[in-house]
Structure 1
Amino acid sequence: MLYVLLHIGQTIYRYLKMIVPEALATLGDNQLFGAGFGLFTLGVAASVLRKGSAVALQLLRRRLMTTLEIPVSDHSYHWVLEWIAHRPDMSCHFSVKTAFQKLHSGKISTGFAFVPSPGSHYMWLGKLSFSANQHIPYETVTLTTIGRKKEVFEDLLLQARTFALQRQKNMTLIFKPMGAEWRQFGEPQRSRPFQSVMLAAGQSEKLWNDVTQFLHSQQWYIDRGIPHRRGYLLHGPPGCGKTSFITALAGELECSICILNIGDWTLSDDRLLHFMVSAPPQSIILLEDVDAAFLDRSSEVQDPRRQGMNMVSLSGILNALDGVVSSEGRIVFMTTNYIDRLDKALLRPGRVDVKELVTYADAEQMCRAFRHFYPTENTEHAEVFSSNLSKFTEKVSMAQIQAFFMLHRTDPKYASENVNEISKY
C-alpha cells in the first residue's frame, strides 16, 4: 500500500511540475492579475508546493523505509540476481542469457536462463514487500522495503546465498582478474571426480591430508602466532596431471579456483598483491607456470607494444606470498615444468611449504589408468598393458595415456597390445 501512495505522490508531483507553469502563463493574461500580485502569489504557492512535496516524499522514505545497496564487487550481487530471477512473485521483466550444452548423443542443447533486467522489480518476503532496482552502468542492486529493521536484509541475503550454492553444488567456479576485481570466468564447470586423477601411489592422499589438516587448524596457527596460509608447488614434465589434480581437489573441497597469470605483462606488483588479498573466500589461488614470469626480462630489446606496462618482479611475488598484508586462510598452488629456473627465495618454507614432483607414469599408475577407463575388464589386461608400455618407453605422461584410451575406448584388448601407438600423442 505504501508503494502505491509513494507512486501516486510522485505522479502528482510530476503533474504539478508540468501544469503549474502553463496555468501561470494563462493567468498572466487576466486583467485581475495584471498588477502582478496574484501571479506572484500563485508562483510562490506553486514553488512551495513543489518543494514541499519533494521534501515530504524524501522524509517519508527516510523515516518509513530502509534501503540496501549491493555493488557488483560484492559476492552477494550475483546471488541476489539469481535468487530474484527464480522467485514466482517477481515482476515479469527479464533479460535472457542463452547457454549451450553438449548432450551425451553429441547434439547441442540450447538453454535459456532469465535474469532480472535493469529497472524495478517487486516481490514479497514473508509479510514484507521489497523493491529491487538494478542499475546500469554502475552495476548495483538496490533493495528497498518498509520498516527500519536491517535483519530482514540479512534473511534475504542468506536465502539468496543458500539458493545460489545449491545450484552450484557439484560445480567448480573459475575466477579471473578483470579490471580491479575478480570476475567469474565462463559458466560453472562440473567438478572433476578426485579419483579420476592418477598421481603416483599415495601422492594424492598425501596432498589431500595436508590440505584438509590446514583447513581445520586455524586455531592451532593462531595460538602459535603463525600466519594461517599454505603454499604448494607441483613441478614436473607437462601433461602429468598437475593442473588436473588441482581442479579435482577444488571440486572435492567445494572451493572455487582463482587463476592468476603472473607472466601477464599488464600485471604489476600492486595489482598482484591486491588480487592475492581480495580473492573470494573458500577458493584456491592458482599460479600456473610460475617460472614464465621471469623469462626474457633482462633483455634490452623490448616489444614497443609493451612499453610503459608494469611487470611483476620477484620481490613483488615474494611480498604477495608472505608479506605484511598477505591474507589469512589462503591456499596457493603453483605449477612449473622447470623448478630449477625458480629463485631459492621463492622456494623457502612460508612461501612454498610443500613441494611435489608430478612426473611420468609408473607401472602402478598405468594399471590404475587402464582399470579406470575399462572397469569391466579383468586385471590381466591391465597388467599386460602396463608391462608392454614399460618395455616400450619409460617416459609417458598421463595425458598421452588418456588420449590413447579415448581413441580405443571400445577395444581394451587392442589398447593393451598396441602400446607403441602412444608415441603418436
Structure 2
Amino acid sequence: MNRTFQLDTQSPTGNPIGGGANGGVPKGLLKYIPESVQPLFENPLFSAGFGLIGVGAAATFARKGFQSALINARRYCFVSVEVPSHDKSYHWLMEWLAKKKQKSTRHVSVETTLSHHESGDIVSTINFVPSVGSHYILYKGRVLHVERVREKNVVDMASGNLWQSITLTTMGFNRNIFKTLIQEAQEMSINHEEGKTVIYHTQGNEWRRFGHPRARRPLNSVILDDGLSDQIIQDVQKFLNNSQWYTQRGIPYRRGYLLYGPPGTGKSSFITALAGELKLSICILNLAGKNVSDSTLNQLLSSAPQRSIILLEDIDSAIDTNPHQLEEQQDANGNVVYQYQYNSKYNYTAPASNSSQLTFSGLLNALDGVAASEGRILFMTTNHLQKLDKTLIRPGRVDLTIHMGLATSYQINQMYLKFFPNHQAQADQFESLVASETVSPAQLQGHFMKYSEDPMDSINHIKELIK
C-alpha cells in the first residue's frame, strides 16, 4: 500500500514557518532593519542559514580588525615604560605610588619595615602599596595606567626575590611625562631622607637599604684629639671637590683611609658622624660573608651608591690580610716588637676562611686593580695594625692612616664639657686627675652617663674610672 506524505509549510496561523510572509524573518523584527537591506533578510536562502554564516564571518573579521586596531593604537598612539624591581627607581616609584594612591586604591599590599633606634629599640612601620594588578592615576592632567606584575616562577638571581615590575602607560607620543614622574619620585625620596644618613648592606651582589634612614649624628658628638677631626674632613672634602684634578693627571679617582687604635676610641662613630656632616651614605661591606667572592667584591665596589662611604670594619678579622707569620719579639730595651716571617702555608689564592670565598689577592685587586671602581671613598678600621700586611695599606690602597688612641688630655676635658657645659673649673679638675691616654673615650662616656646628674659625682667617683 502506497502512502504519500505532504510537508505542511504553513503555520497554524497560515504564515510560512520561516516567520515572515515570504519565509523571511518575522515582520516584528523586519521593521527594525533598514529598508535597503530588507530584501536580503526576506531571501529564503539567507533565512535558511547561509546569511547567518556570512554575518558570523563578518562579525569575526570585525572583531579581528578591532583587536588589530587596538594593537596598532597602543603601538602608535600610546607610550609606556617598564620599571623592573632591580632598578633603583622601582623603590622610588613604589613609595610615590603609596602616597599618591593611599586613599583611593582599594587593593593594596602590606610592606612592613623594621628600624633600629640608637637606644636599641626596634620599631616596625607598616606601609600600604598598590597590589599586583592594574591601577589608574591622574597625573598632570593625563590618565596613567599602572600595571604591577609579579612573576611567580621567575626569581631575581641578585636578590633572591620574585621578579616584579611596574609598567606605566598613557596616551600620547611624548615620553617626557615618565621622566618627570620618576624625577618627582626621586625628589620625594630625597626629601624624605633630608637630614638623615642612609645605611646600605649587601644582599647577593647588590646593595640594599638597611632599615630606615637614621638621623644624622652631629660631628661634635665624637670628640677626637685636637685638630684630628678637621684634618680628616678637609681631606675628604678636597677629594670630593677635585675630580677634574685627578683626571688631568691620570690618577685613579678614589681615596682610602685607615683608622686604627684600641677598641672604644670612636672609629666607627666618627665615620657615622662624618657621613652625616658631608651628607654621604654608608655602605657596610662584610668581607667574611659566605657569599662574598672575588667577582662579587668587584661588583659591589663598582655598583656602590653615589656619594657614599664604603666601610670595611675590623679588616684584620674579616679576612686573613696577612700572608706572613707574625712573631712577637723584644728589642734591646725590652720593648715588644713584631717581626714578619713569611709562612709558605699562606698564599694569595687560597680562600681566607672556610665560610668566605674571598681571597687576599682578590681583595687587593678590587681595591686598586685594573677593574677597580672610580669615585670611591673607602674607610677601613682595625684594632690591630700590626696584623695587616704592608701590601694592603700601601699608598694607593690606603692614602691616609689615622691613629685613634686612648683619650688625651684635650679629649678628657672636652668630653667633660660635653656632658656638663659651663663647668670649666670642674673639667680642668677632672682632667688633672685622669692621666692622658689611660682610658678610652668609650670608658669616659660610660662614666659620665653613670654620674650625669651632678658634675661633682663624676669627680667624686673617679677612682672607679681609673681602676
Q: Does 1:92 align with 2:138?
A: no
Deviation for aligned residue 1:47: 5.6
Percent of residue pairs identical = 44
Deviation for aligned residue 1:131: 2.2
Q: Does 1:179 align with 2:225?
A: no
Separation in 2, partners of 1:190, 1:126: 34
Superimposed CA distance per residue, residues 256-301 of structure 1 (whole angstroms, 9 cap, x where no aligned partner): 111111122321000011000011111111111111233499989x
Task: Give the structure 2 partner of residue 338 of structure 1.
Answer: 384
Deviation for aligned residue 1:420: 2.5
Deviation for aligned residue 1:40: 7.3
Separation in 2, partners of 1:178, 1:105: 26
Task: Give the structure 2 partner of residue 405 of structure 1.
Answer: 448
Q: Does 1:395 align with 2:438?
A: yes
Partner AA of 1:247 in structure 2: T
Q: Is the 8 A contact 1:290 1:336 kept in 2?
A: yes
Task: Give the structure 2 partner of residue 364 of structure 1.
Answer: 410
**Structure 2 residue corresponding to 1:62, chosen from 48, 71, 75:** 75
**Structure 2 residue corresponding to 1:347, chosen from 393, 398, 402:** 393
Superimposed CA distance per residue, residues 303-350 of structure 1 (whole angstroms, 9 cap, x where no aligned partner): xxx998652111111111112222221111111111111121111111
Pick closer, same or farther for the CA change 1:39–1:359 going to 2, 3 Å: farther
Q: Does 1:292 align with 2:338?
A: no
Q: Does 1:157 align with 2:171?
A: no
Count of matched residue pairs:
384
Superimposed CA distance per residue, residues 174-231 of structure 1 (whole angstroms, 9 cap, x where no aligned partner): 1111123111111111110011111111111000000001000011111111111111
Q: SS where residue 344 of structure 1 aligns?
A: coil
Q: Does 1:380 align with 2:425?
A: yes
Superimposed CA distance per residue, residues 228-267 of structure 1 (whole angstroms, 9 cap, x where no aligned partner): 1111111111111111111111111111111111122321
Partner AA of 2:439 in structure 1: V
Separation in 2, partners of 1:113, 1:209: 40
Q: Is the 8 A contact 1:91 1:123 kept in 2?
A: no
Q: Is the 8 A contact 1:124 1:130 kept in 2?
A: yes
Task: Give the structure 2 partner of residue 328 of structure 1.
Answer: 374
Partner AA of 2:311 in structure 1: L
Q: Is the 8 A contact 2:262 2:404 kept in 1?
A: yes
Superimposed CA distance per residue, residues 106-139 of structure 1 (whole angstroms, 9 cap, x where no aligned partner): 9998765433333333222222222223322322
Partner AA of 2:425 in structure 1: E
Task: Give the structure 1 partner of residue 14 of structure 2.
Answer: none
Q: Is the 8 A contact 1:90 1:121 kept in 2?
A: no
Of Structure 1 and Structure 2, the greater helix share is in 1
Task: Give the structure 1 partner of residue 362 of structure 2.
Answer: 316
Pick closer, same or farther for the CA change 1:265–1:412 going to 2, 3 Å: same
Q: Does 1:421 align with 2:446?
A: no
Deviation for aligned residue 1:360: 0.7
Separation in 2, partners of 1:309, 1:64: 55
Pick closer, same or farther for the CA change 1:295–1:102 going to 2, 3 Å: closer
Pick closer, same or farther for the CA change 1:214–1:100 going to 2, 3 Å: closer
Superimposed CA distance per residue, residues 126-184 of structure 1 (whole angstroms, 9 cap, x where no aligned partner): 22222223322322222222212122122112211111111111111111111231111
Q: Does 1:274 align with 2:320?
A: no
Task: Give the structure 2 partner of residue 78 of structure 1.
Answer: 91
Larger Rg: 2
Partner AA of 2:90 in structure 1: Y
Q: CA RMSD in A?
A: 3.3
Q: TM-score, normalised by structure 2?
A: 0.74
Q: TM-score, normalised by structure 1?
A: 0.81
Q: Is the 8 A contact 1:367 1:386 kept in 2?
A: yes
In structure 2, list runs of 5 or more residues that go unmatched: 1-44, 151-161, 324-344, 347-351
